[in-house]
Amino acid sequence: MRVRIFPTDQLLARALAADVARAIRRQPALVVGLPTGRTPIPFYRELVALCRGGQIDFSRAITFNLDEFVGLSTDDPSSYHAFMRRHLFDHVNLSRRRTHLLNGTAPDLIHECERYEWAITRAGGIDVQILGLGANGHIGFNEPGRSLIATTHRTRLREASRRANRALFGNRLRAVPREALSMGMGTILHARRVVLIATGATKSRSVARMIQGPVTPRLPASFLQLHRHAEVWLDRAAATRL
């Protein structure tokens, strides 16, 4: 794993946005995997600024989000659909037809997961997968446990993950769904390049275990050690235990 440490989360966000802009200039129909959470918000802000400044053209780019809650409609303000509109999609020239998210209210969720896998395959696979890191070591919603699931699937959320997401639900833990749909660990590992970003001291323990610990489903992010082109971009606070 290639580790890069930035003095601040802002500088990390700027560097990552510039990196994605370069990649899209080289390959306008780039397929990008996108995360939600607090960590990527400064990165999305930088992408919006680059787009407004004419330095990035998303018109042919394709995106796939990692995950979505089960039971929230696509226009629910707490959904990841709404998060993506708020922080990125409403502010850049990404074509809606080319942005893909899982639908947590699809009538048949197994079919929905299969549809997503097919859509990724049809797009030619993911070129760059950007990832956040759960404080408990999850990526997407691949939660710690005794085993992992390779493909896109329905999953039960850990209490720690529900708590970490409660800000999206007006801090009401009871309103946070108990299940989600998520790309699988295999889906993520199939991406040609993976960039995991983690900022802040609360992530430092998982960061150290992910990079220096054993590969284990108890810390799903540790599976990135098996990827040929996995990069971990950190700010100083997240890197303190390395």
- Would you count residue 140 as binding ligand GLP (CB under 6 A)? yes
- Would you count residue 127 as binding ligand GLP (CB under 6 A)? no
Q: How far apart are CA 105 and CA 107, in angstroms?
A: 6
- Would you count residue 184 as binding ligand GLP (CB under 6 A)? no
User: Active site includes 67?
Assistant: yes
Closest CA to 152 of 165, 141, 168: 141
Could you tell me if residue 149 is left (phi over 0), alpha (psi between -120 and 50 degrees) or otherwise beta?
beta
At its nearest, how many Å lie between ligand GLP and the CB of residue 45?
A: 14
Find the catalytic residue in 81, 87, 100, 138: 138
DSSP assigned state of 11? H
User: What would the two tokens of residue 207 be?
Assistant: 């960061």
Name which of residues 57 to 76 contact ligand GLP (CB under 6 A).
Answer: 66-67
Q: Which stretch binds ligand GLP (CB under 6 A): 10-18, 32-40, 50-58, 85-93?
A: 32-40
Q: How far apart are CA 104 and CA 70, in angstroms?
A: 4
Q: Which stretch binds ligand GLP (CB under 6 A): 110-118, 129-137, 146-154, 184-192?
A: 129-137
Task: Write the DSSP assignment of 161-186 as a string of letters.
Answer: HHHHTGGGGTT-GGGS-SEEEE--HH
Q: How far apart are CA 202 and CA 39, in angstroms?
A: 12
- Would you count residue 36 as binding ligand GLP (CB under 6 A)? yes
- Would you count residue 141 as binding ligand GLP (CB under 6 A)? yes
Task: State which residue, 21 or 40, has the beta carbon closest to ligand GLP.
Answer: 40
Closest CA to 83 of 40, 30, 133: 40
At its nearest, how many Å lie between ligand GLP and the CB of residue 198?
A: 8
- Would you count residue 83 as binding ligand GLP (CB under 6 A)? no
Find the catalytic residue in 65, 103, 136, 165: 136
- Would you count residue 206 as binding ligand GLP (CB under 6 A)? no
Placement of tokens 């993950």 in the chain: 161
- Would you count residue 132 as binding ligand GLP (CB under 6 A)? yes
**Which positions are catalytic?**
67, 136, 138, 143
